Amino acid sequence: MRNIDEHTITDAVLQSLAATPDARLKELMGALVRHLHDFVRETRLTEAEWQAGIEFLTATGQKCSDTRQEFILLSDTLGVSMLTIALNHARPAGATQATVFGPFHTADAPRVGQGADIARGAPGQPLFVQATVQGPDGEPVAGADVDVWQADEDGLYDVQRPELGDMRRARAVLRTDARGALRFRSILPTAYPIPVDGPVGTMLAATGRHPWRPAHLHFMIRADGYEPLTTHIFRDGDPYLDSDVVFGVRSSLVGDYVEHGPGTAPDGSRVDAPFFTLDQRFVLARPD
């Protein structure tokens, strides 16, 4: 370990990890060290650049809170989140594809019954969703927990509105019925920018990238005997479908949000303004 130089330091660090008792941790740490050292050598990283990187990561951690995960946002915008999903959540033909989780899910969404208005006053045009959850052989998946969340028409999630406090809106947990079906009322999703008031926003500006995500609803579906699914349903025609800042779009996840004039909604209520409907089928995969 004496006389370490730029040529020998990588082997020295790897040797220091040789006694790591967990084989997978040893593999991960070794690969991290090798790639990180190769990056430093390839770019001939300066001390000032190293310091800037440390400050960036420090600021990223400091921006995190109970309702915001800046490191997830960083992972999303660098494509790491979607790459991890693509590697770990390959689905058989016919199963609904997974996509990024996002930084704004909360564990305290209200549990509601069929037909509930989950918007709870969030601004946006009315949207009526009817969905079914099926297994790979077309069997209905009854009793599945379906977690739904979205931004409002101003591009904000409830947790980004301090005036709401602990109130949760435009998110809920529902359970499928015996036919594997669920229905609820919400608001039409619109395209929105990810938060740019932190280090990730600074990185996007420095690299000439826009911060926009195409309009979508988030769904997380869990049912006994099936693989859990985290996905989006995007809105067809959105201008950002081909340049999603977090690389989360898949063609199979683009849904048909149909516009209707004022009249009777699918739940029988009278709507005096234009509204939209979405009929969506989700197909869960079974564990390998």
pLDDT tens-digit readout, 233-278? 999 999 999 999 999 999 999 999 999 999 999 999 999 999 999 9
Give strand pairing partners of 26.
Answer: none
User: Which pLDDT belongs to residue 24?
Assistant: 98
CATH number of the structural domain 70-283: 2.60.130.10
Amino acid code (one letter) for 186: S
Q: Which of 31, 40, 39 is nearest to 14 (CA)?
A: 31
Q: Which of 255, 260, 249 is nearest to 235 (CA)?
A: 255
Range with the lowest mean pLDDT among 19-23, 58-62, 100-104?
A: 100-104
User: Which pLDDT belongs to residue 217?
Assistant: 98
CA angle, residues 160, 75, 233, in degrees to nearest 5: 65
pTM of the predicted protein model? 0.88
- The two tokens of residue 135 are 């297994």
- The two tokens of residue 277 are 């409907």
The arithmetic mean of pLDDT across residues 217-234, rounded, is: 97
Q: How far is CA 137 from the centre of its chain?
A: 27
Tokens 């006694």 -> residue: 19
Q: Where are the domains of the chain?
A: 9-45, 70-283
Q: Which of 52, 13, 60 is nearest to 36 (CA)?
A: 13
CA distance 107 to 153: 23
**Banded model confidence at residue 95, pLDDT cuts 50, 70, 90:** very high
Burial of 224 (0-12, 13-18, 19+ CB in 10 A): exposed
